[in-house]
Structure 1
């Protein structure tokens, strides 16, 4: 089956074909005909199976070849990264429709460019709830003519607490509209939301009946690993045969920042996306990853939904996810568009109970992760890592700049730091460690002092280094 068989206009079919997109995925074949007819839809499919074109192609076609200026389509997404990704996919399909324009509305970026595109007549708006409400509150975004509404990754919006914002957005949209809701998982509150804002929706589940909850084209590998050895294990996995683009998920922003620094120091090409970076930095990192300039992306879960790159071969969970839904979304960054992938998860000793819940929910059959270190033989055989691989592509900075034979540039030794001091007009070198030990014995009695001007000299010299001497040069009495 082709997109033409699904009654998609030829100009859109040609635009997709130019990007190598020829055959529709199951969620698309089931969704597109119903969406073209105006049927409200709840679409459920595993991440990476083509939901964006499942709703994107029908909404583009339904507003016509030459839509009037002004917002006709609203796509609401939970994260900035997903906002950019959905916009790019829609622009791909619109390559042969210059009169239809898409604008991305999300926070962390200046208002001016987004407002300018709205004023220029953009008909399709893809946005995050906060910035959408912000612009509409300033009367810069008019939603009264919207006829097509899509909620993408609705379960993530629930997790992020966006449901009140969604209700406010729907209050500004005409009651007569075509509404679609798409998500990989469908918890109860999302179903309740659909019933409130949709008209007799059809629930479409595009899952293979012979497939489990996890994608069959992804090899799931789970290890019980020690936190101090994880970086070394990861560095060796990154040298596995056939390893392409890789996404590493961390639990915290600090862990992401630390890991990207560590891997770059080891000679790998890594970028990071996390909440401590501004939007420009995050977009620059994502662009470098998609373009192949960086082949490793380290991310927190906030960016998980926006990483839609077809050639990701490995996903590594630096720590076990909080629940099975998060695991599915992380693992779904690989094995996209029908390709195969590998998902590696590290389970700390303290997180074994958390993994047990995920394993049971997803029926993975891995109740007890095997204890694994960077030297474990099965690590190499499981993941195709060449024997003898070490976790560093380049020497450390210390090894790269060894000390010269003359000691130039290195810290001077104790002997070279010795300096001459003047005592009573005579030159005396700084005592060595042995001389310091002997000094109290030599200065124990006044008779050992020699001349009168040098009475108690060793003890006096040591004290003078710490306190300013009096005007007559007499020894200072110790303070009580």
Structure 2
């Protein structure tokens, strides 16, 4: 329906459910209008703006396939890849550019991309771009394109914001709908939908049994968060299934590796966020599982639209937790579905095996005889020259890093924080006392090791401090040697200790000191009260109330008494 209008250079707003060929609806007229490439024409004539990188790759593949006979030069630009290959392709010359808003504006800012000769603009999945906050970027891109152009908007859902955008930037557009205004789900009789109310801890067990259904092909599992994607993919791998996650925290090379492995059949379970809910056109996707309830009806339509494409059949299973019932009822009413009250379901419920044709007695672990997939490791990661740091790392890479043998490091044994060949505290104290009579010259520098030895705390008795010093005084001197001091400062500290700070000579400690400097005073520990019964009352607060005390009135009694009080008449104002 949109082809005649698009070929006639009219602005079009296309609305159709997923899997009906919207890419060819704008791709064929664009390639037809551009024609065969020319050597003297290097600036792009067509521009397709998409919200996600995966969708950019998908649209590029479709346009290359459609323009194979014409030899059209199609280039995809998006973040996560190196700039150099894209800049080199733009210098050589391209006819159609497919990209995300961020990378397009970066190339325009660096003056590598010139949109001055663009004659056709397409916004694919425009509602998704508005949800992701790309509206300011889209407006900037539209201002860089000549006003004499053809503009087309395509999406499966058409909210009011898209209509307002069309009125602002499109010239008398024609709204083409490939179906009625009713919910898209009504036009999907080829998708068998199941909505179950499940418990959070039982979800993974139901998925493990669902993946063993008869006739199951490739399966996509949609989660709400990136952490949930990693958790579900890891648990499915431990149960024997070939699964891989796809979300925004992974590098672009890892995301493309997972998609290639999924398309090539090396893995059969793709766990993804809504980043893969748009534009992923893969054959043989037989089952879609909404592990987490979608946020709205648009997300639900696009999620289940990954199966049952191009006339095929598929199965969609949605899990709804108890706290998500209200959200699901809104989605159910918006789409006019028949699942207002989802059936309470567990992994052992009989209707799970009956409705999904799962063999009886199936457990949550895939038998070894059925583990025939090569796995994600069989698909190599392409070196894309990714910009920035990689925000995610595979589990096998982490395991390799953890099991890597540690290198032997040469260490010098220390005792008490010093090397073994360093002198002890007693030797240092003896050396210090012997050098008191001969202080070092002003120009002589004290080494770092000497400072460290002198600032060390010693618990050993020092008996060679002076002629009149007792062992107890030596212990006090050693314990007070925390501060850094030179030989002259040590002499001042010794005099301060012997004089006890006020000029009087300090008396030895009254306690009996053994020859080894240890004090044998008995250590008295507080007596512990151990009740014979855990219900015994150890302490009871005294009752300080007396018979003369009055009971405090309640708040209600005070309010009643306040209402009974006579109110004083108001005095008239003077003057």
> Which TM-score tier does this pair reach, normalised by the shorter chain?
0.7 to 0.9
Distance change in 2, residues 1:479/1:304 (3 Å): farther
Q: Which residue of 2 aligns with 1:229?
A: 202
- With CA pairs under 8 Å and 6+ residues apart, which has the higher RCO, 1 or 2? 1
What does residue 133 of structure 1 align with?
A: 105
1:82 and 1:337 map into 2 onto residues whose CA distance is: 18
Residues 1:384 and 2:357 aligned together: yes
Partner of 2:412: none
After TM superposition, give the deviation of residue 255 of structure 1 in Å.
0.3
1:22-33 matches, cutoff 5 A:
30-33=1-4
1:196 aligns with 2:162: no
Assess if the C-alpha contact under 8 Å between 1:154 and 1:181 holds in 2. Answer: yes
1:149 equivalent among 108, 113, 121: 121
Say whether residues 1:89 and 2:95 are aligned partners. Answer: no
SS in 1 for 2:277: helix
Match in the other structure for 1:21: none
Question: Could you tell me how far apart the structure 1 residues matched to 2:182 and 2:108 are?
Answer: 46
State how far apart, in whole Å, the 1-side matches of 2:90 and 2:25 are.
Answer: 25
SS of the residue 1:337 aligns to: coil
- Per-residue displacement from partner, 1:48-100 (whole Å, max 9, x unpaired)? 111001111110111112343221100000111101110111111122233x2
- CA offset at residue 43 of structure 1? 0.2
Q: How does 1:204-219 map to 2 (within 5 A)?
A: 204-207=176-179, 213-214=185-186, 215-219=188-192
Q: Give the structure 2 partner of residue 349 of structure 1.
A: 322
Contact 1:77 1:127 in 2 (8 A): yes
2:27 aligns to what? 56
Q: CA deviation at 1:238?
A: 0.4
RMSD between aligned alpha carbons? Answer: 2.1
1:211: Cα distance to partner?
8.0
Whether the aligned pair in 2 keeps the contact of 1:310 and 1:337 (CA below 8 Å) is no
Deviation, 1:301, is 0.8
CA 145–380 in structure 1, closer or farther in 2 if over 3 Å, else same: same
Distance 1:353 1:35 in 2: 42
SS of alignment partner, residue 212 of structure 2: coil
Shift in Å at residue 267 of structure 1?
A: 0.6
- Output one character per residue of 1:340-395: Cα deviation in whole Å (capped at 9) or x when no partner: 11110000011000110001000011111001111000000111111111110158
Q: Deviations over 1:113-160 (max 9, x none)?
A: 111111110111000011111110111110000001100000001100
Provide the residue aligned with 2:531 in structure 1.
Answer: none
Once the two structures are superposed, the pairs formed by residues 31-430 of structure 1 within 5 Å of their partners are 31-67=2-38, 68-98=41-71, 100-207=72-179, 213-214=185-186, 215-394=188-367
SS in 1 for 2:233: helix
Change in 2 beyond 3 A, CA 1:477/1:378 = farther
Per-residue deviation, 1:32: 1.2
Alpha-carbon distance in structure 1 between the residues aligned to 2:260 and 2:272: 14
Q: Note the residue ranges of structure 2 that are not aligned, 5 or more in a row.
A: 369-515, 526-575
Q: TM-score, normalised by structure 1?
A: 0.75
Structure 1 CA distance for aligned equivalents of residues 518 and 278 of structure 2: 76
Task: Supply the distance in 2 between the matched residues of 1:64 and 1:105 (Cα, whole angstroms).
Answer: 22
Separation in structure 2 between the aligned mates of residue 278 and residue 479 of structure 1, nearest angstrom: 65
Structure 1 counterpart of 2:431? none
TM-score normalized by the length of structure 2: 0.63
CA distance in 2, matches of 1:304, 1:126: 19
- Taking a change above 3 Å as real, the CA distance of residues 196 and 212 of structure 1, as seen in their structure-2 partners, is closer
Summarize the Cα distance change of 1:479–1:150 in structure 2 as closer, same or farther, 3 Å threshold: farther
- Aligned-partner Cα distance in 2 for 1:338–1:243: 17
Q: Is the 8 A contact 2:37 2:95 kept in 1?
A: no
Is the Cα contact below 8 Å between 1:72 and 1:146 reproduced in 2?
Answer: yes
Distance 1:308 1:478 in 2: 80
Distance change (3 Å), C-alpha of 1:256 and 1:180: same
Assess if the C-alpha contact under 8 Å between 1:80 and 1:306 holds in 2: no
Unaligned runs of 5+ in 1: 1-29, 396-470
Which secondary structure does the structure 2 equivalent of 1:38 belong to?
coil
Provide the C-alpha distance between the structure 2 equivalents of 1:218 and 1:191, rounded to a whole number of angstroms.
Answer: 29
1:106–1:477: structure 2 CA closer, same or farther, 3 Å change rule? farther
What is the Cα deviation at residue 306 of structure 1?
Answer: 3.1
Whether the 8 Å contact between 1:245 and 1:311 is mirrored in structure 2 is yes
